């Protein structure tokens, strides 16, 4: 089985394949971020790195059976400025379209963020299928709504595992934020009880020493401090768990890079659920 993954990141696609028991494959990855490549090669040293997607040529590849892509989403996202196809990053979507047409894979999966209907329609027209909207909250402790375009048959909503932050929190972590630091970030959106779901991870949410804009976990009843509320941000391992990535999968790079690539990554168990249709 030959697999081509565009905008591969840290190879969540390979994790999903292995999660459903598919291990006999050759994996070609197009990625330019050196830290994401480092994580991929550390965990999957047989990965064939192809570099920039614009330089990928189907004629130089074997017959591709499965095509993965999670093209950059900044130009589509409701959280961004929504320049859509005028944004150079969003135009990389058409590199996926080019390789979809050139490779003619048996199966494909394209992932992207929630966006305006007009953008959805353009993507669906080029890809030839309508998307399914799946919230990672069904298989993880994170609210993360994403569209998936695929020709894999019989894709339905995954079963709800009922996971919350308490299920992924490391009880051994005791480095809580000071009250002053927590106050700087304590909006209703950023503070989550350990009995709730986390907010959707982003690539930039852990920038800065003060943890502004991140999910601050309210740890009431979690530590024995006379039932006081204490606050802290999620650790890299806890963020891996939010994305259903194995513990310490990204540990070969700095925490800054770990947070970034996890925010950019896929929820592995959602992709594994979709891939069940080809098993």
pLDDT (0 to 100) of residue 209: 43
Angle at 67 between CA 85 and CA 244, to 5 degrees: 90
> Is 272 a member of any domain?
yes
pLDDT, tens digit (0-9, with 9 covering 90-100), for 162-214: 999 999 988 788 777 766 666 666 766 677 888 889 989 888 766 654 444 45
73 is an active site residue: yes
Domain count, the chain: 1
Beta bridge partners of 40: none
Structure tokens at 3: 């697999």
Pairing between β-strand 216-218 and β-strand 231-233 as defined by DSSP bridges:
antiparallel
> Is 43 a member of any domain?
yes
Candidate list 12, 73, 219, 239, residue with the active-site label: 73
Q: Reply yes or no on whether the pLDDT at 135 is more than 50.
A: yes
Pairing between β-strand 145-150 and β-strand 107-113 as defined by DSSP bridges:
antiparallel
Share of the chain above pLDDT 70, in %: 81
The boundaries of the domain holding residue 271 are: 2-159+267-278
pLDDT, tens digit (0-9, with 9 covering 90-100), for 33-71: 999 999 999 999 999 999 999 999 999 999 999 999 997
> Is 228 a member of any domain?
no
pTM of the model: 0.89
> Is 152 a member of any domain?
yes
> Is 218 a member of any domain?
no
Mean pLDDT value across residues 87-106: 87
Angle at 62 between CA 59 and CA 66, to 5 degrees: 110
> Is 255 a member of any domain?
no
Closest CA to 205 of 187, 190, 217: 190
Measured CA to CA, the distance from residue 237 to residue 51 in angstroms comes to 28
User: Which CATH number is 38's domain given?
Assistant: 3.40.50.150
């Amino acid at each position: 089985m030959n697999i081509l993954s565009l905008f591969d990141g840290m190879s969540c696609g390979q994790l999903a394949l292995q999660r459903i028991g598919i291990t006999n494959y050759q994996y070609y990855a197009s990625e330019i971020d050196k830290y994401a490549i480092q994580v991929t090669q550390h965990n999957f040293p047989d990965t064939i790195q192809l570099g920039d997607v614009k330089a990928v040529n189907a004629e130089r590849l074997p017959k591709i059976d499965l095509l993965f892509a999670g093209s950059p989403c900044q130009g589509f996202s409701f959280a961004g400025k929504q320049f859509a196809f005028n944004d150079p990053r969003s135009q990389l979507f058409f590199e996926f379209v080019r390789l979809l047409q050139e490779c003619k894979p048996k199966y494909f999966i394209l992932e992207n963020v929630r966006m305006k209907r007009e953008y959805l329609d353009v993507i669906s027209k080029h890809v030839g299928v309508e998307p399914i909207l799946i919230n990672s909250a069904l298989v993880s402790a994170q609210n993360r709504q994403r569209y998936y375009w695929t020709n894999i048959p019989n894709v339905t909503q995954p079963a709800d595992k009922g996971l919350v932050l308490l299920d992924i929190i490391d009880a051994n972590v005791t480095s809580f934020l000071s009250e002053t630091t927590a106050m700087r970030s304590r909006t209703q959106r950023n503070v989550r009880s350990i009995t709730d779901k986390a907010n959707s991870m982003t690539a930039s949410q852990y920038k800065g020493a003060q943890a502004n804009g991140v999910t601050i976990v309210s740890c009431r009843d979690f530590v024995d401090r006379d039932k006081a509320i204490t606050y802290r941000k999620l650790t890299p391992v806890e963020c891996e768990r939010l994305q259903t990535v194995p513990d310490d999968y990204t540990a070969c790079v700095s925490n800054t890079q770990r947070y970034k690539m996890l925010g950019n990554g896929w929820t592995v168990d959602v992709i594994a659920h979709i891939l069940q249709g080809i098993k």
